[in-house]
Structure 1
Amino acid sequence: MGTGIVAVAAAGLPVDVPGLRPAARLVWLLAAVLLVALCVASAKEWRRARAHVADPVMVQFYGAPPMALMTVGGGTLLLGSDWIPLPLAVAVDVVLWSVGTAMGLATAVLVPYLMITRHRLGPDAVFGGWLMPVVPPMVSAANGALLAPHVSFGSELLLVSYALFGASLLAAFLVVAHLWGRLLTRPPMPAGTTPTLWIVLGPLGQSITAAHLLAEAARDALPAAPVFALLFGVPVWGFAMFWLALAAALTLRALRQGMPFGLPWWSFTFPVGTLVTGTTGLATSTGSQLLVAAAIALFGLLTVLWLTVATRTLRSVLRLQHGHRDQPVAVDHLATERHQ
């Protein structure tokens, strides 16, 4: 999903940059290929699922697969339709949205259920990854709004999308409040966990994006929807800028302390990508050149972060293939760190 969001963000950027859309199509294609490869690899490792479910850190990342499915699905509609017939792109998106939404709702309910009934969590246990299981319904809401104009059940889809929007938004706010309390009252988070603070930008940016897309799709049925999207989106965008500055400062601190590389570094990509799409939506609605400039700047940040993390990931994979295991490429080390 960290790769797919780069393509989606580029497709909607509120400026016409020569060559950007062809490049975005290639990134979407890369994301689609990676999604298939990861699905195959995950199927071979299904036996590890029980161990992951029992681990209060690893289980949080089960929120990633549904978001990956829907991000690639949305990219298929926005970019893949340049290469394939629109009805086929819609059909692919419907399938990926449906599967992703079902999986996302399952993680949104089952992961908190496991945390309540099975996991024994201390006051320092909370980290940004707790947002992963509750964000997928917000991704469903945004992508449902994109899909609604292309399907016969668009009205029902918009109603479901608004409900998903509310479910994810309120759950995310509860987690963010808990995370904020942990940051202020407990010792600093371990360096390896610090990248997950960027995940907070995910529900913020995605909710702004969803509010904008839902307003556009429901403009005829709900004339007040665009007003709600602005009244909601601008204050949340302000808080997102605050959190971006805070997360960046804490990340620089962790880097100076030797923050290890690992898959949690991908937390730098998708959340910032949703902030790009949300800022783009606000810029489109308001015509504000300040927001246009902010969208461009955030997309530049996203590009740098994606290139950095993708390069480090590829380098680590190659090292593992040559028998060097001093560079972790999984989240297992994060789980170990949390238990220490």
Structure 2
Amino acid sequence: MLRHPVQSLFLGTVPMGLATIVNMVVFVCVPAWGIWATRLAWALWWIDVVLAASTCLYLPFVVMYVHDTQLSTITAAWLLPIVSTIVAAASGGIVAAVLPNPQYALWTLIVSYALWGMGVPLATVVLVMYFHRLTVHKLPPREVIVSVFLPLGPLGQGGFAIQQLGKVARDVFPKTDSLIPGAGDTLYSMGFIVALILWGYGLVWLFFALASISKSKFPFNMGWWGFTFPLGVMTVSTTQMAKELPSAFFKVLGSMFTVVVVLLWLVVSAGTIKGVVTRQIFFAPCAADYEKQYNARKTRENLEKGTDGNGTESLKP
């Protein structure tokens, strides 16, 4: 799978899924079960950090070293291994907010800022390449047209992450005497400004995505799940800004985004269940490639042994 030019990129969704579990441990289990749930969330988060950093560093290198990549083959799926570090950074801000030890919270914040620095700048580089690909080679095929929403992922999650980290830094830095007095307040203010800039950038890609799907008729497939995460994190960033300002505009817009995400989730879930029942949704191109390679290898071995694969003798070339 690591050698497949497309399927390998989806390994980045593994740490992203784990980060969601970490967040729900904090939101649900910590208030109900106390300190041991906090330790569980922190331990799971460190595992997520290792997985996210590994995918962000190794998978792009595989693209450079193994694959023969052309500009026309670039897709927004290149963002998936990179976004995993941004998601881990956001989860780090959530976990740090409930850690009772300020020093542990500080370590978590520092690592989270580093993860954010690994992900967001690299994601912007990929977005530039992807924009160039769209302008030169037009829109992606209709089967993967939903991928045009993926650029919202690093921008929306990056905006939420930097806000959450600044919010926690404002509380943790004074307790640990980190940097200079007021450093936490500075990070908090800068976090909101950076989030607002990323949010504006996200509006550009949201327009491109909506315009792209309006020009295409595309069948339901697993790619439709690409609707939920990008729009979801864009919604989270919007609602977080509504809390920080506070702003009636962002509150209303965040509520509208939330309704859209929920409706899309219901539609995608219904389509997925239907596809599972009819067995029409399960298709893995990498598995098909492996089957072809396996059959070719067995044929070659049979020819070398002098049989036709059924145990009967055949003429050797």
Q: Which residue of 2 aligns with 1:308?
A: 267
How much has 1:309 moved relative to structure 2? 0.8
Mapping for residues 203-214 of structure 1, pairs under 5 Å: 203-214=154-165
Q: Which residue of 1 aligns with 2:23?
A: 74
Q: Which residue of 2 aligns with 1:56?
A: 5
Q: Pick from 173, 188, 204: which aligns with 1:242?
A: 204
Mapping for residues 119-134 of structure 1, pairs under 5 Å: 119-134=67-82
How much has 1:331 moved relative to structure 2? 5.0
Q: Is residue 104 from structure 1 mapped to residue 52 from structure 2 by the alignment?
A: yes
Q: Contact 2:85 / 2:118 at 8 angstroms: preserved in 1?
A: yes
The whole-number CA distance in structure 1 between the counterparts of 2:238 and 2:268 is: 23
Q: Which residue of 2 aligns with 1:282?
A: 241
Q: Structure 2 stretches of 5 or more lacking a match? A: 174-183, 290-317
The whole-number CA distance in structure 2 between the counterparts of 1:60 and 1:335 is: 17
Q: Which residue of 1 aligns with 2:33?
A: 85
Q: Pick from 246, 254, 264: which aligns with 1:295?
A: 254
How much has 1:334 moved relative to structure 2? 12
Q: Which residue of 2 aligns with 1:267?
A: 226
- Give, as a single letter, the amino acid of the residue that structure 2 aligns with 1:319: T
Q: Is residue 253 from structure 1 mapped to residue 222 from structure 2 by the alignment?
A: no
The whole-number CA distance in structure 2 between the counterparts of 1:91 and 1:260 is: 44
Number of residue pairs the alignment of both structures matches: 275
How much has 1:86 moved relative to structure 2? 2.5
| Greater Rg over alpha carbons, structure | 2
Q: Structure 1 stretches of 5 or more lacking a match? A: 1-51, 321-326
Q: Secondary structure at the match of 1:124?
A: helix
Q: Secondary structure at the match of 2:74?
A: coil
The whole-number CA distance in structure 2 between the counterparts of 1:92 and 1:254 is: 45
Higher normalized contact order (CA 8 Å, seq sep 6+, divided by chain length): 1
Q: Which residue of 1 aligns with 2:311?
A: none
Query: Aligned-residue CA RMSD in angstroms?
Result: 1.8
- Give, as a single letter, the amino acid of the residue that structure 2 aligns with 1:60: L
Q: Which residue of 1 aligns with 2:281?
A: 328
Q: Secondary structure at the match of 1:54?
A: coil
How much has 1:91 moved relative to structure 2? 2.8
CA 1:146 to 1:306, structure 2 compared with 1: closer, same or farther past 3 Å? same
How much has 1:313 moved relative to structure 2? 0.7
Q: Which residue of 1 aligns with 2:121?
A: 170
The whole-number CA distance in structure 2 between the counterparts of 1:103 and 1:235 is: 28
TM-score of the superposed pair, with normalisation by structure 1: 0.77
Q: Pick from 277, 299, 303: which aligns with 1:318?
A: 277
Structure 1, 308-317 or 240-249: larger mean CA deviation: 240-249
Structure 1, 118-127 or 184-193: larger mean CA deviation: 184-193
